[in-house]
């Protein structure tokens, strides 16, 4: 059964939410420090269950030691684990990083692919991670990154009733034009960190308060 399309009223409210957030955060962008697609891919893998701030503390040493896919493909897992230990789940992340690097070297001549299908076939790379790389390095709006902030805010704003990240992503894609998909996630993330904070939302200072059904 085909899902019903968003109503005109809902799309207009969604557009106003985007407009207000863009005015509030005109410099919203990816918080993970990176130089190229490989570095952003690795940093995004590290960011699972970890803050961007912590990842940015780890990656300078990581990329000095392993500057590209060829170097990381040859990494000693124990050594790599020690470098990324503070990001949590370091054994699994180290395995994914090495596996990702080896796949990039073996299947893509050491160059991170700029398409969704080959990206999500890399170890440790799901649709969310692929969207991060495609949107922020390749300038391709293939979808909306749904992290914890995007999931929480889109629910509070009643832009979706879904719980599954991919279903939330599809709801947001239906509400917003393609050229807004990448920046939309950055705007939600900035707002979730600075104003709509999970444990202490500052509704009195929120530019979306009159548009938000959850505002107190």
Of 199, 201, 188, 186, give the one whose Cα is nearest residue 28: 186
Angle at 104 between CA 51 and CA 185, to 5 degrees: 35
Residue 163 annotated to the active site: no
Total Cβ atoms within 10 A of residue 193: 14
Report residue 208 as tokens: 């979306």
Given the residues 52, 68, 93, 128, select the one marked as catalytic.
128
What three-state secondary structure class fits 47?
A: coil
CA 166 – CA 33 distance, rounded (Å)? 26
Distance (Å) of CA 138 to CA 121, 166, 174: 18, 21, 22
Given the residues 10, 11, 147, 167, select the one marked as catalytic.
147
Report residue 120 as tokens: 């999500």
Residue 151 annotated to the active site: no
CA 197 – CA 174 distance, rounded (Å)? 26
Residues identified as active-site: 128, 147
């Amino acid at each position: 059964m085909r899902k019903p399309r968003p109503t005109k009223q809902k799309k207009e409210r969604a557009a106003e939410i985007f407009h207000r957030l863009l005015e509030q955060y005109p410099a919203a962008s990816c918080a993970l420090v990176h130089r190229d697609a490989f570095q952003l891919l690795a940093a995004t893998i590290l960011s699972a269950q970890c803050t961007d701030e912590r990842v940015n503390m780890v990656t300078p040493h990581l990329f000095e030691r392993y500057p590209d896919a060829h170097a990381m493909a040859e990494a000693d897992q124990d050594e790599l684990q020690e470098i990324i230990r503070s990001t949590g789940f370091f054994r699994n992340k180290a395995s994914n990083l090495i596996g990702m690097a080896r796949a990039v070297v073996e299947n893509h001549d050491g160059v991170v692919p700029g398409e969704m299908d080959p990206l999500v076939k890399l170890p440790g790379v799901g649709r969310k991670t692929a969207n991060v790389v495609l949107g922020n390095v390749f300038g391709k709006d293939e979808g909306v990154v749904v992290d914890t902030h995007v999931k929480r805010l889109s629910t509070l704003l009643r832009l979706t009733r879904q719980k599954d990240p991919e279903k939330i992503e599809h709801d947001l894609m239906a509400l917003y034009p393609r050229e807004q998909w990448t920046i939309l996630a950055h705007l939600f993330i900035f707002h979730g960190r600075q104003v709509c904070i999970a444990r202490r939302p500052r509704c009195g200072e929120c530019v979306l308060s009159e548009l938000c059904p959850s505002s107190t």
